[in-house]
Amino acid sequence: MGAHILVVEDDPGIQELIAVNLSHAGYSVELVAHAEAAYLRIREALPDLILVDWMLPGISGIELTRQLRTDPNTRDVAIIMLTARHDERDKITGFEVGADDYVTKPFSPRVLLARMGAVLRRRVPQETQLLLEVRGLRLDPAAQRVSCADINLALGPTEFRLLHYLMTHPNRVYSREQLLNQVWGGNYMGEERTVDVHIRRLRAALEQGGHDVLIQTVRGCGYRFSVSTD
């Protein structure tokens, strides 16, 4: 399971083009057609990256980006602006309101994927470069790679950060609030159920090697990464 991408685009044809190519590349894709729907999805689970069309019905993509950047809950999320506006002044406006990148239409899906990869790599913090290994599960912070039995597991940036934190703090129980503070940042004020959503995604990614059992739910308390063999 790759990074979770929220696509805010009202053109069905472009929606389909993006969804097909991103899905084939291993991303988890969610499509909405306007800013109001985007806000609802973001409140439920913070995506790893948002692709935003400039010309949206109602609230424009440029205004949506501006609002996301001024909101403490979403100001660190990766954002790429998609637009038919080629003028240099428009590009400057896009960057000034907080877009990480600016892709003009029509665009090559391969170019879009390359730009997305570059933005996601920049947005993933590298706290420590030490290689971690627990019961055959290997996490390499320098390479941003998780593997088991020489098989690379596809994790989104948020799931990578979550696993990284849990693996460096094993056998300790963390509440949802503590994980929000440590993994999402102290300024994140989103709902605690966001943690549950990303825990599910992380477990799904770890299932391939049977390592999902390492992420344990402690009823009424939170989650723990267990290194025991019981």
What is the domain partition of the chain in residue ranges? 4-123, 132-225
In this prediction, residue 188 carries a pLDDT of: 60
Q: Which range (46-55, 68-77, 149-158, 218-227) has the least confidence?
A: 68-77
Per-residue pLDDT band at 108 (split at 50, 70, 90): very high
Largest CA-CA distance found in the chain, in angstroms, rounded: 61
pTM for the structure as a whole: 0.62
CB 225 within 8 A of CB 215: yes
Q: Average pLDDT for residues 173-193, to the nearest whole number?
A: 76
| Rounded CA separation 106/27 (Å) | 21
In this prediction, residue 126 carries a pLDDT of: 45
pLDDT > 90? residue 4: no
Chosen CATH of 4-123 out of 3.40.50.2300, 3.40.50.620, 3.30.70.20, 3.50.50.60: 3.40.50.2300
- The dihedral built from the CA positions of residue 34, 52, 111 and 141, taken in this order, carries a sign that is negative
| Residues of the chain above pLDDT 90, percent | 47
Q: Which range (27-31, 45-49, 205-209) has the least confidence?
A: 45-49
Phi, psi of 88 (to 5 degrees): -60, -35
Q: Which range (6-20, 70-84, 155-169) has the least confidence?
A: 70-84
pLDDT > 80? residue 100: yes
Domain 132-225 has CATH 1.10.10.10: yes
Mean predicted lDDT score pLDDT of the chain: 87
Which positions ≥6 away from 154 have C-beta within 8 Å? 1, 2, 26, 205
| b (16+ CB within 10 A) / e for 135-151 | eebbbebeeeebbbeee
- The dihedral built from the CA positions of residue 120, 126, 130 and 132, taken in this order, carries a sign that is negative
| Rounded CA separation 230/223 (Å) | 17
Which residue has better confidence, 13 or 189? 13
